[in-house]
Chains A and B, each alone.
Chain A
Amino acid sequence: MAVTFIFGANTISYGQDDLQDAIVTLSFIDNNEAKIIQAKATDQDGSPIEDLELYFYVQRTFSLLPIGDFFNTTDENGIVEIPFPEDLPGAVGGHVKIVVKILESDIYNDLTLETIKNWGIPTPVDQFEEKRSLWAAAANAPITLVISVSGMILVIWFIIGYIIFILYKIGKIKSDVHSQFNEENYFKDVIESF
């Protein structure tokens, strides 16, 4: 599949020459062996640009992850190919944003192209697909932890509840003559009372 983006970039001048706009066309080749990103750079007349450095990235959460070689330079046909890494995690459907840039070229203006491909490893967002672990979402806590913590809480709060129940029963016991009588009788040898 060929995807073409044309962006008009800024018009910063280097030295005494005016910078030109380059046109970069991206192609994505997916065969059984590898995934390849192919970029073709041409000038405004359609002629291929040789020895143009292109920078390839994948969008991270807050920055860009460089892919390919350190220098990715177009050949005599204006083409450069880089392999796409097999182990990059993507979004839910494996989608990743691929970014290609021309940066600080002496001849051409800066350029940025972005496209989204589902070449990454899908990351499950649904917590019910997630494996149970200490670092998982709340619904995926380890079973042993859930059982042991819940068990301990139930035991101790059962004891607390029982104590409160006993206090309730204590409050329900009525004062009667017998308890008064018992108090008098049993206090014959009482040491001292208030």
Chain B
Amino acid sequence: MSKPNIELQKFRTKRGKRLLSHLITTSLQYKLWIAFLLILILLGLIGYYRQLRYGLVVTAMRDYTSWGIYISNFVFFVAISLVGSLFSSILKLNKNLWARPLTRISEIIAVAAIICAAVIIIVDMGRPDRIFYVITHLRIQSPIIWDVIIISTYLVISILLLYISLLPDIALCRDRLTQIPNWKKALYRITAINWHNHPKQIAMLQKVNKILAISVLPVAFAIHTITSWLFATTWRPGWDSTNLGPYFVSGAFMAGAAVIIIAMYFIRKHLKLSKYITLSHFDRMGKLLVLLSLVYLYFNINEYLGPAFKMVGVEGEHITELFVGKYAPMYWFVQLGGLVLPIILLFFKPFRKPLPILIIAIFVVLGAWLKRFLIVIPSLQHPYLPIQGVDESYLHYNPTWEEWAITFSSFAWLLLIITVLIKLFPVIPIKKYKQGSETVFKQNIF
């Protein structure tokens, strides 16, 4: 097919043109962005090739720090994947209509994040060919097995959540878009599964939507609680805490909200959607972020005050290292720059405007990633049996270039999946059906 001509595509309204043009045209900016992501991915693949060839010795993980930035990255991705349930379930069930334009973005981020979480775990394995031993040699008593099960379940649910909200919009694209390549027409035709706005179809979809919105909630809470149990079911200082479950879940919602703000800013800017992602949305997201951050601050205080008050044994050494030791600069940046300062700033309306809140959200996300680093690595460097008779380098953990390349590559994969999904499907929900016993429906944007 020749290059699509946006002029030949008929749109009935300016709104339709605004929300669907990006599915037809491809800007130079988009191509450069994809190229940049592919370069990062390529560097990551080189690092992974070296890891497969020479083994995990190419990383900085050794006897003591046996979990490194791959695992902290995994926890981070699981955290931000919870945002899908926040918007598609919690806000939707509470009839927060203002959040509706953001539901598609949140669902896309959730799917992309959980896929990357699953992949980064396989990357952490020295022998990825043994991944199926997890199934064939399954021990139901293992928290790792619970995590595998819940992540697989949440991945399927997130995909269903995204697909079900997308279905009427895919049918719209199938029926209306003419200036698209044949493969895209085929994609819309197949994925639209014969959707044609029949009242019965609408009623069934709404029923399924409600079931999913309710079902995703316990699964979303379970996924990050179980991920926290990977740590909390051990005796290590910093991990052996009953507070870890709610601490992780609250941190996940906060980090996810910040990621949404970042996505909102760039999508609004590059797709020119300021009429749909308005200043009011940034303002409300800022308030939501403050609320979630306050909850997370509460759990942070709970997490550290107890052990810091007692300063017992290895736990005391761990706290000392975080508060005033080797990891103190990172720790205080995370707590102050990534949590306390954003809360204070977002109380003021000028900071809830797009650019300021973007910067604040970036700090929150950076703080969230570094917090996962602080959760995973320092505890491993304070084992119960004293470290003795090993090389001095075992006492420190400085990730190698292979680890950083793979980590950045995982972020590139995340952004690539999000970008491709936004390019293929409308990012703002277009069709909305009013629920009623007579199956009367109207077409509307919001």
Contacts and interface: CB of A to CB of B under 8 A. Distances in A.
B146 interface: yes
A164 B204 CA distance: 12
A170 B140 contact: no
B16 A194 contact: yes
Interface stretch (B211-219, B262-270, B304-312, B361-369): B211-219
B31 interface: no
A82 B160 CA distance: 71
Interface string B47-79: 000000000000000000000000000000000
A192 B208 contact: no
Given A186-B441, A192-B15, A145 B140 contact: yes
A138 interface: yes
Given A149-B140, A159-B211, A194-B16, A187 B442 contact: yes
B137 A194 contact: no
Contact of B153 (A137, A156, A164, A183): A156
B161 to A, nearest CB: 10
B140 A138 contact: yes
B156 A160 contact: yes
A172 B200 CA distance: 11
Interface string B232-256: 0000000000000000000000000
Interface in A137-158: 137-138, 141-142, 145-146, 149-150, 153, 156-157
Given A166-B208, A169-B204, A160 B140 contact: no
B323 interface: no
Interface string A56-100: 000000000000000000000000000000000000000000000
B34 interface: no
A2 interface: no
Given A138-B139, A138-B140, A175 B15 contact: no
B195 A170 contact: yes
B197 A183 contact: yes
Contacts of B205: 170
B196 A175 contact: yes
A6 interface: no
B207 A166 contact: yes
Contacts of B12: 193-194
Contact of B215 (A135, A159, A169): A159
A156 B200 CA distance: 25
Contacts of B208: 163, 166-167
B393 interface: no
B176 A194 contact: yes
Interface string A163-194: 11011011111111001001100110111111
A61 B156 CA distance: 45
Interface in B395-432: 430
A63 B213 CA distance: 58
B149 interface: yes
A149 B146 CA distance: 8
B138 interface: yes
B157 to A, nearest CB: 7
Contact of B160 (A160, A172, A176): A160
Contacts of B163: 167
A33 B414 CA distance: 71
Contacts of A183: 197
A169 B137 CA distance: 37
A1 interface: no
26 contacts: A138-B137, A141-B139, A145-B141, A146-B140, A149-B140, A150-B140, A156-B219, A160-B156, A160-B160, A166-B204, A169-B204, A170-B194, A170-B204, A171-B194, A173-B194, A179-B199, A182-B199, A192-B15, A192-B443, A192-B444, A193-B443, A194-B12, A194-B15, A194-B20, A194-B430, A194-B443
Given A156-B157, A192-B445, 14 more contacts: A136-B141, A138-B137, A145-B141, A146-B140, A149-B140, A163-B164, A166-B204, A167-B163, A171-B193, A179-B197, A190-B442, A192-B13, A192-B444, A194-B13
Interface of B: 11-13, 15-16, 20, 137-141, 146, 149, 153, 156-157, 160, 163-164, 167, 172, 176, 193-201, 204-205, 207-208, 211-212, 215, 219, 430, 440-445
